[in-house]
Copies of this chain bind each other. A is one copy, B any other.
Amino acid sequence: MGKARMEAFSDGVIAVIITVMVLELKVPHDEDIAALAPLFPVFLTYVLSFVYIGIYWNNHHHMLHACSQVTGSVLWANLHLLFWLSLVPFTTGWMGENHFAAVPTALYGGVLLMAAIAYWILQQLIIAAQGPDSLLKKAVGGDWKGKLSPFVYVVAILAAFKAQWISQALYFAVALIWLVPDKRIENALRSKELP
């Protein structure tokens, strides 16, 4: 079972998610700069979510590059990941429109947490399908980013009910950590291709 169509479908869904989010930036009716002011938190949230979806696409890209074979459970784990990512436009819009209020901020983290878990499940299934000599397993290595992120999300969710700026700072910090492209997989692939 080839992986090309799973990649193409994931690309399609992620492309629509990343673009549909911008529809939450509702065109204001007034024409002055003041009309943009209430949109500013929505815009900031949009930037954050765009970066997150970009990170997921990027890592997904790298992960499938190191994956040679797709099983039925991998297909469904992939759909499970896309499901949580598809909720990002909703939480983005809610958090932005309510100026980073407590519950929307917590829910934003909740969806990020579920997406992180879904990504981890997908990664484990691909590693399992590859067997003991899994290229992806070597590439991922200790996976400290993948292990750290869920804990940071949980802290951010809890912090949302005390001080939302802590949650926002944590979401921002996790995005920064991941923005560095996943050298591990690139390196493992390169060392395999150029022995």
Contact = CB atoms under 8 A, between A and B. Distances in A.
Contacts of A181: 72-73, 75-76
A17 interface: yes
A20 B16 contact: yes
A83 to B, nearest CB: 6
Contact of A31 (B8, B58, B103): B103
Residue of A13, A32, A65, A73 contacting most chain B CB atoms (<10 Å): A13
A109 interface: no
A76 B23 CA distance: 22
A19 B103 contact: no
Contact of A9 (B22, B47, B57, B107): B57
Interface string A104-148: 100100000000000000000000000000000000000000000
A192 interface: no
A41 interface: no
Contacts of A89: 22-23
B11 A94 contact: no
What interface size band does chain A fall in? 35 or more
A8 to B, nearest CB: 5
A29 B6 CA distance: 36
Interface in A1-37: 1-2, 5-9, 11-20, 22-25, 27-33, 35-36
A108 B106 CA distance: 33
B18 A87 contact: no
Interface string A43-67: 0000100100010011001000100
B16 A83 contact: no
A93 to B, nearest CB: 4
A58 B16 CA distance: 19
27 contacts: A1-B65, A1-B186, A2-B65, A5-B7, A6-B61, A8-B8, A8-B11, A9-B11, A9-B14, A9-B57, A9-B61, A13-B19, A15-B16, A16-B19, A22-B86, A22-B89, A27-B90, A29-B97, A31-B102, A31-B103, A32-B103, A33-B103, A36-B103, A36-B107, A58-B75, A58-B79, A72-B181
